[in-house]
Chains A and B, each alone.
Chain A
Amino acid sequence: MSQSYNRGLIEDFSRWREFEAGMWAWIFHKFTGWVLIGYLFTHIAVLSTAIPAADGATMMFQGSETDVFTGTIVSLEGLLLVRILEVGLLAVAVFHMLNGTRLLLVDLGVGLEAQDKSFYASLILTGAITVASVPTFIAGAF
Chain B
Amino acid sequence: MAERYSSFNSGGRMWLLQRVTAAFLLIVLAFHFFLLHFVHHADEVSLAASSARMEQLSYYSLMILFLVTATFHGVNGVYNALVNQGLTGTKRTVVKWSLVAASVVLLFQGIRTANAWAGGFPLL
Contact = CB atoms under 8 A, between A and B. Distances in A.
Interface residues of A, number: 54
A51 B4 contact: no
B65 interface: no
B117 A140 contact: no
Chain B interface size, as a band, is 35 or more
A34 interface: yes
Nearest to B108: A44
A67 B47 CA distance: 8
A51 B113 contact: yes
B64 interface: no
A40 B107 CA distance: 11
Given A40-B70, A50-B50, A107 B6 contact: yes
Interface in A75-129: 77-78, 83, 86, 90, 93, 97, 100-101, 103-104, 106-107, 112-113, 115-116
B85 to A, nearest CB: 7
A140 B41 contact: yes
B3 A5 contact: yes
DSSP majority for the B interface? Answer: helix
B119 A74 contact: no
DSSP majority for the A interface? Answer: helix
Contacts of A70: 45-47
A23 B3 CA distance: 11
A47 interface: yes
Interface of B: 1-7, 9-10, 19, 22-23, 25-26, 29-30, 33, 37-38, 41-43, 45-47, 50-51, 67, 70-71, 74-75, 77-78, 81, 85-86, 102, 106, 109-110, 112-113, 116-117, 119
Interface of A: 2-5, 7, 9, 22-23, 25-26, 30, 33-34, 36-37, 40-41, 44-45, 47-48, 50-51, 53-55, 67, 69-70, 73-74, 77-78, 83, 86, 90, 93, 97, 100-101, 103-104, 106-107, 112-113, 115-116, 133, 136-137, 139-141
